[in-house]
Chain A
Amino acid sequence: MLAPNKAGAATQPRGKAQPDDAPKDDLATRMAQAYHVGTFSERAQAGLGNPSRQQAVELIRTTKVAKRRAAIAALGDFDGLRTHARQRKDHALAILPTLLTRFEQKFVAQGGHVHWAETGHEACTIIEGICREVDAKKVVKSKSMITEEIDLNAHLEQAGIFPLETDLGEYIIQLRKEKPSHIIAPSLHVRKAQVAELFHQHHTDLPPDRSLESYDALLQESRAQLRQGFLEADLGITGANMLIAETGHAVVVTNEGNADLSMTLPRTHIIVTSIDKVVESMTDATAILRLLARSATGQPISAYTTFVAPRGEGANRSHGDLPTAVHLVLVDGGRSAIYNSAFREVLRCIRCGACMNHCPIYHSIGGHAYGWVYPGPIGAVLTPLLAGLGEFYDLPHASSFCGRCVEVCPMDIPLTDLMRQHRVTAFRQKLVRSRHLIRGWGWLARRAQVFHTVHRLVGKCAHTAVGRVLAGRLAKDWCVHRTLPMPHAKPFMTLLAHSGWQPSVAGTSPAPDTDGSSASSPERGAGA
């Protein structure tokens, strides 16, 4: 990993290795299997055929997109800010090992503890260790994608520690024993009525005939439940959106304030984050913050933006109601491999979710179809890198390359180019099923004569009875949702050649057009 002492040690990105080479004991792989229900197309089908999920996604498609658009418009120079943020993050990545060291020094100097974890499993073990040290049985957690990635909850539960998700969306899917379907709105796929039913089922200490019709009722009930959890917790776990090397702060962004409670009420606070989150200065962090909420939810800034530093010697944090220990677990989890590969740009990601909010594929199949922690275009790039291209072959291939994600990504990540890069790797590893057809087409396109002859023949055959049947067979899947368009009996090139049309120099006709334009027709030119 990119720990300062081992910086630069190049490792092969797993995506480039044969799928079977992926270390078997690696947690990411285990997780991939846990998520992996059926094949991609089965999961996609499930998403396509689920009306309530479709409805929910429709909400994202309409409201989130409009909200972001309004927020970006109000910002004025979005492109300028985006370029600036991109440059600052690129700079941070360029000197990543140095920044990590600097951050660690600052953090430790303020009394914090830093733990480096190469793999997800290692991170889980470290966290479990800290829990045991302080004898924590109940843990409150705020939403964090890295803990999803390392499957922390399952690990803690196995160790007899009960983690309670305190983000409402995460709480819902924790009760439902599901995985998030969106990185910002994890329970996007769950409808209101389903939540009511869920609460009736789980909150058995409340009167069973209470009404949970309104959003407010649901909110109040979950708030009361979670509040109890906060008060009882021995330890709080949060993620971090950024780490600031200059000051040693971690930045935590939420809309519910649950992270703030998680990090202030319990006696011990663990921050879990990955090594790519570090930025150089407070100014860099604020530039990114200006983009984050606007891109994610269309808010100018999230409701709660907290800069956390451990208790410093000189700092006046001795009220007695703050954690006595702050730990930071820095997870590599495959980032170093990405860092040393052609995919480094993906490490600029700030997990805003704008790419999936705008992705027509995501709108169609929903988040669970992606089969792992990260859905949408960012998942299509990241998942094959972290969990193997062999298993997640379909993700970068199931894209029409419409480019909408690239257009909205606040960190200017060339998502489609990176997906294409995955396709190149897959093609080279002979994972692409239709590669002979692709090669064949390339061969044909280099030979104009043959190319046009084939087109002529196809045109001819397509209009025979046999041709139609054959075309219908070949384009079976297409015909499920569309009629079959037939090629013209004669391609344009043939028609043009037969027409006797000749190129001629414009303006050689005797008189220019009366409207004063210098246009002329070739036939006039030819005939003059």
Chain B
Amino acid sequence: MPLGVTLAGHHAQMKVQASCLHLCCFWLVCRSQATGAGAEKGAEGGVLVFVLVFVAGCRKIFSVKIGFFVTCLMNSMRPSAAFASMRLIEHCLDAGETLVVPSVQTCCGQVSFNSGDPAGAYATALQQAQAFSACDLVIVPSGSCGGMIQKHYPTLDPGEEPQEERSAEQSKAGHEASPLQVLAGKTVELCQFLVQRHFDPNSFDAEASSLLAMPAARAAAHEVAPHSHDRASMPWRVALHQSCSSLRETQSAQDAIALLDRAATVTQVPVEGSDECCGFGGTFCVKYPDISASMLHRKCETLTQPTDGKVPDMIVSADLGCLLNIATGLRHQGINRPCYHIAEVLAGTWRHSPAIGEDAPMTSRAKHKGARNVGTK
């Protein structure tokens, strides 16, 4: 029984209580069997059935739900990265764990939160807390959204007044944890999760993955830059963009480095000023495009700087927002440097997708057909 799995929050508590009950029943049955030994042979068969039922029940009780929060940006801009993330998570599941993708999830609420609408942010956050209430662990493939949930959800409150106190002080008050605090406590960033589960990119067989066959990743219509490289030129030289939120909110930047280090297919190149912002900042890049662009220019420069006379082959990040910013900025400058989400690189699915920002003009029919072919056998 996978008792070692991380049980988080309220939900897990209930499970532990239920399993205690379960054990009591089991003990009672055993006793009755012992006292009634030799009385009726038919009883043994009955007990066997009971034991089987018990085992099945155990499975249900200990089935741990792992939720995947796709994030609204990845949902609409980069489904292939979401599929890659799912593949990685599934690969890392322990026995008894189930990956679920609640369809009622929406957005982490950062837009409202950072635009000065805490009430809107609270309502949005509550929606996510409800969507993932049955999950024991929630995985977010973005430091930014992950940081919003981990760090800021506990500080949100329904009132008009924004909450000053930090989460620690709040929980000290001795109240039962709010749904937002529960969600914050059980949320991890994708790279954090993969490192916790000792994920080894080299033992991960991307080609065997059925989700890979999914159209979003597969049906790339045109050749992209890495394809023109000689395959023999592996490992790819990768420049990692650490997002500000992964550095300072989820603190998962080191995990991303560790994961890329493990992958034999890539080598990381050093990036100067790696703790500097790329200028994305959510609504910031829309409200102040020129300032944002100036930051972006610096970032593009440092990310494409040659080391030992060689420029990096691709740019990778664990945050899609930053990547969209960087990729479209590079393209605008006419620099051909493919950008991929770290999940795509770790899963190896990037070879089959056009790089971020390279618009994949897929017909929806092709995608649809492909989609029908997977998962259902």
- A residues neighboring B (CB under 8 Å): 41, 44-45, 48, 61, 342, 360-361, 363-365, 397-404, 406-407, 420-428, 432, 434-435, 438-439, 441-448, 451-452, 455, 458-460, 463, 475, 477-478, 480-493, 495-507, 512, 515, 517-523, 526-527
Contact = CB atoms under 8 A, between A and B. Distances in A.
Contacts of B93: 506-507, 518-520
Contact of A518 (B94, B99, B209): B94
B290 to A, nearest CB: 6
17 contacts: A360-B279, A398-B284, A400-B284, A402-B281, A404-B248, A404-B277, A434-B115, A443-B120, A445-B124, A448-B104, A448-B105, A481-B292, A495-B215, A495-B367, A500-B371, A507-B94, A520-B93
A498 B364 contact: no
Interface in B182-217: 203, 208-211, 214-216
B372 to A, nearest CB: 7
Contact of B90 (A363, A497, A521): A521
A433 to B, nearest CB: 9
Nearest to A424: B116
B362 interface: yes
Interface residues of B, number: 108
Contact of A458 (B63, B74, B76, B111): B76
Contacts of A500: 371-372, 374-376
Interface string B199-243: 000010000111100111000000000000000000000000000
Contacts of A402: 244, 248, 276-277, 281
**Residue of B115, B282, B332 contacting most chain A CB atoms (<10 Å):** B115
A477 B289 contact: yes
A512 B94 CA distance: 11
B280 interface: yes
B282 to A, nearest CB: 8
Interface stretch (B22-30, B46-54, B320-328): B320-328
B96 interface: yes
Contacts of B216: 488, 490, 492, 495
A428 to B, nearest CB: 7
A500 to B, nearest CB: 4
Contacts of B77: 485, 487-488
Contacts of B39: none
B6 interface: no
B98 A505 contact: yes
A427 B79 contact: no
Given A403-B245, A519-B90, 12 more contacts: A360-B295, A402-B281, A423-B116, A445-B120, A451-B107, A481-B290, A483-B331, A488-B79, A500-B371, A500-B375, A521-B90, A526-B375
B360 interface: yes
Interface string B278-296: 0111111111111111111
B115 A526 contact: no
Nearest to B292: A400
Contacts of A361: 291, 295
A480 B32 CA distance: 79
Interface of B: 2, 59, 63, 70, 72, 74-79, 82-83, 90-101, 103-107, 109, 111-121, 123-124, 127, 131, 162, 164, 203, 208-211, 214-216, 244-245, 247-249, 273, 275-277, 279-298, 324-325, 327-329, 331-332, 356-357, 359-364, 367-368, 371-372, 374-377
B244 A499 contact: no
Given A483-B332, A493-B75, A505-B63, A44 B281 contact: no
Contact of B75 (A401, A442, A455, A506): A455
A362 to B, nearest CB: 10
Contact of B328 (A61, A360, A438, A483): A483
A45 B96 CA distance: 58
A441 B332 contact: no
Nearest to B367: A490
A48 B290 contact: yes
A497 B277 contact: no
A446 B162 contact: no
A526 B98 CA distance: 12
Contact of A488 (B76, B112, B209): B76
The 4 A-B residue pairs with the shortest CB-CB distance in the complex, in nearest-first order: A400-B281, A507-B95, A442-B120, A427-B116
Given A361-B295, A455-B75, A477 B286 contact: yes
Contacts of B90: 506, 519-522
Contact of A448 (B127, B285, B371): B127
A406 B249 CA distance: 11
A525 to B, nearest CB: 9
B164 A342 contact: yes
A275 to B, nearest CB: 22
B167 to A, nearest CB: 12
Nearest to A414: B166
Contact of A522 (B99, B203, B286): B99
B120 A438 contact: yes
Given A520-B93, A521-B209, A407 B248 contact: yes
A404 B244 contact: yes
Given A403-B248, A432-B115, A498-B368, A523 B375 contact: yes
A484 B332 CA distance: 9
A478 B115 contact: no
A502 B101 CA distance: 9
B96 A442 contact: no
A516 to B, nearest CB: 10
Contacts of B70: 492-493
A507 B94 CA distance: 7
A479 to B, nearest CB: 8
Contact of A442 (B98, B117, B367): B117
A434 B283 CA distance: 10
B375 A427 contact: no
Given A404-B277, A505-B59, A448 B131 contact: yes
A506 B115 contact: no
Contacts of B328: 478, 482-485
B79 A499 contact: no
A462 to B, nearest CB: 9
A522 B87 CA distance: 10
A497 B331 CA distance: 32
Contact of A399 (B104, B106, B281): B281
Contacts of A399: 281, 284
A504 B100 CA distance: 8
A360 B294 CA distance: 9
Contacts of B100: 503
B377 A527 contact: yes
A503 B331 CA distance: 38
A489 B103 contact: no
A434 to B, nearest CB: 7
Nearest to A449: B104
Contact of B360 (A435, A451, A488): A488
A517 B112 CA distance: 42
Given A365-B291, A480-B293, A523-B210, A446 B79 contact: no
B291 A364 contact: yes
Contacts of A499: 211, 214, 371-372, 374-375
B374 to A, nearest CB: 5
A525 B120 CA distance: 40
A108 to B, nearest CB: 37
**Residue of A443, A485, A504 contacting most chain B CB atoms (<10 Å):** A485
Contacts of B283: 434
B111 A441 contact: yes
